[in-house]
Amino acid sequence: MRSGGAVKTVFADAERGTSLWRDAARRLQKNRLAVAGLIVLACVVLCAFAGPWFSSYPYDEQDRENKFLGPSAAHWFGTDHLGRDLFVRVMQGGQISLEVALAATAVSLSIGVLFGAMAGFLGGRVDNAMMRVVDVLYTLPFTIFAIILVTYLGRSLVLVFVAIGAVEWLTMARIVRGQVMSLKEKEFIEAAVAMGLSRRRILLRHLIPNAIGPVIVYATLTIPRVMLLEAFLSYLGLGVQAPMSSWGTLIKEGTAAMEEYPWLLVFPSVALSVTLFSLNFLGDGLRDALDPRSSKE
């Protein structure tokens, strides 16, 4: 309809200025804590990936006579049991951990959100069946599953993402499903249905963005689990092989030496914590920003 077309253009102009995402970006900028989190996170990423270039020690260079040295001017974080510089190893470990964390969380988010939203939206017997699938997958022994993965597919970092993502998406799906189920009954969804919007559109453009609050929070909670799960997987022979290591394995090794050489535990733990704190502030900020009704008292 030609008049419809003109109306559309007018509305389109108005829309461009106030899309959900642009609104969100603006709100995020105003949240100082979230911005701080973003900056810190960027620093961490920079250090992890570029830092080792600037260090005078390669991460795998051993100096066995100088093992277990405490922090000093020569070794900012001290040395480990083989005399390797801990600062460089923490940086290198960050690379692994961040890669794993990002990829695994992305995998688990995408599968989990789609699956959960579909189940919640479609409801009834489809929902029942889908949730039973989740139940079955949840109870299969993960250790065995990981061992089988290594055996039949070799040992690579990509597999780590797959293995972790394959486990984490299950709880995500359940949370999303619950959210969608409560949102489903709301007026704006009824309105969308009445307007004749396709189910796919309702799902993608209306339900999911509004369910996103707790999902983001849970995603930021997933990341530390993923990092530590990677440490468990390396125990099973999956993941990076020595002399590379992740924050998870550095922390595990450091725990055994907690009393005698505490820096081996402290520095990787601080690196992990700083990263997770900033991720969480960022996540909170994202959640607040994306929720058009979030209160700011």
Partner 1 sequence: MTRYIGRRLLAFIPVLFIIVTLTFFLVRLAPGGPFAAEKAVSEEALRQIAAHYNLDAPLFKQYLDYLAGLLQGDMGPSLKRPSRSVAEWILIKLPVSVELGIYGLVVALCLGLPAGILAAWRPNTWRDYVPMSLAMTGICVPNFVLGPLLVLVFAVHLGWLPVALWETPSDKILPALTLGAIYAAYIARLTRASLLEVLSQDFIRTARAKGLGETRVVLRHGLRGALQPVVAFLGPATAGLLTGSFVVENIFGIPGLGTEFIKAALNRDYTMIMGTVLVFSVLIMTFNLAVDVVQAWLDPRLRHA
Partner 2 sequence: MAGAVLAGCHVARHETAGADGRVLHVGNGAEPQDLDPHLVTGVPEHRLVSALFEGLVDVDPETLEPVPAVAESWTVSSHGTVYTFRLREDARWSNGDPVRAHDFVYAWKRILTPALGSEYAYMLHCMKNARAYNEGTLTDFGEVGAKALDDRTLEVTLNHPTPYFLSMQIHYTWYPVHRATIERYGQMDERGTRWTRAGNLVGNGAFRLERWEPDRIITIARNPHYWNAGRVRLEAVHFHPVDNVLTEELLFRVGRFDLTTTVPLNKVEVYQRTRPDAIRIDPYLGTYFYRLNVTRPPFTDARVRRAFAMSIDREDLVRNVVRAGRKPAYCFTPPDTAGYTCSTAIPYDVDEARRLLAEAGYPNGEGFPEVELLHNTSDDHRQIAEAAQAMWKQHLNVRVSLVNQEWKVYLNSMLQRDYQIARSGWIGDFVDPINFLECFTTGNGNNRTGFASDKYDALIAQALGEVDGERRIAVLQEAERLLLEEAPIVPIYFYTNIFLKHPDLKGISPNLLGYVSFKRLYFEPDGAPPREPRGEGTVTRAGVGVGVTRDGRAG
CB within 8 Å of 80: residues ≥ 6 apart: 67, 68, 86, 89, 253, 264
**Using CB under 8 A, which of the segments 5-13, 22-30, 61-69, 287-295 binds partner 1?**
287-295
| 125 counts as binding partner 1 under rule CB under 8 A | no
Which does residue 294 touch among partner 1, partner 2, none (CB within 5 to 8 A, set by kind)? partner 1
Task: State the binding partner of 138 from partner 1, partner 2, none, CB within 5 to 8 A by kind.
Answer: partner 1
Phi, psi of 222 (to 5 degrees): -70, -35
CA 269 vs CA 21, 116, 262, 263, 266: distances in Å: 34, 33, 11, 10, 5
Give the nearest distance from C-beta 123 to partner 1 in angstroms: 9
Asked if 23 interacts with partner 2 (CB under 8 A), we say no
Read off the tokens for 238: 């999956």
Let me know: does 91 contact 58? Beta carbons within 8 Å: no
C-beta separation of 90 from 247 below 8 A: yes
* x-or-dash string of contact with partner 2, 220-259, rule CB under 8 A: --------------xxxx---xxx---------x--xx-x
Q: Which of 42, 46, 60, 198 binds partner 2 (CB under 8 A)?
A: 60
The Cα 234–Cα 64 span in angstroms is 24
**Could you tell me how many residues of this chain bind partner 1 (CB under 8 A)?**
55
Residue 185 CB neighbours (<10 A): 8
* Contact of residue 14 among partner 1, partner 2, none (CB under 5-8 Å per partner type): none
DSSP symbols for 129-189: HHHHHHHHHHHS-HHHHHHHHHHHH---HHHHHHHHHHHHHHHHHHHHHHHHHHHHTSHHH
If binding is defined by CB under 8 A, does position 143 make contact with partner 1? yes
Letter string b/e over residues 187-220, b meaning 16 or more CB atoms within 10 A of that residue's CB: eebeebeeeeeeeeebbeebbbbbbbbebbbbbb
- Binding partner selected for residue 75 from partner 1, partner 2, none, CB under the kind-specific 5 to 8 Å limit: none
Query: Contact positions toward partner 2, by CB under 8 A?
Result: 60, 62, 64-65, 67, 81-83, 147, 150-151, 155, 234-237, 241-243, 253, 256-257, 259-261
Query: Contact positions toward partner 1, by CB under 8 A?
Result: 128, 131-132, 135-136, 138-141, 143-145, 147-148, 151-152, 170-171, 174-175, 177-179, 181-182, 185, 213-214, 217-218, 221, 224, 228, 248, 251-252, 255, 258-259, 265, 269, 272-273, 276-277, 280, 284, 287-288, 291, 293-297
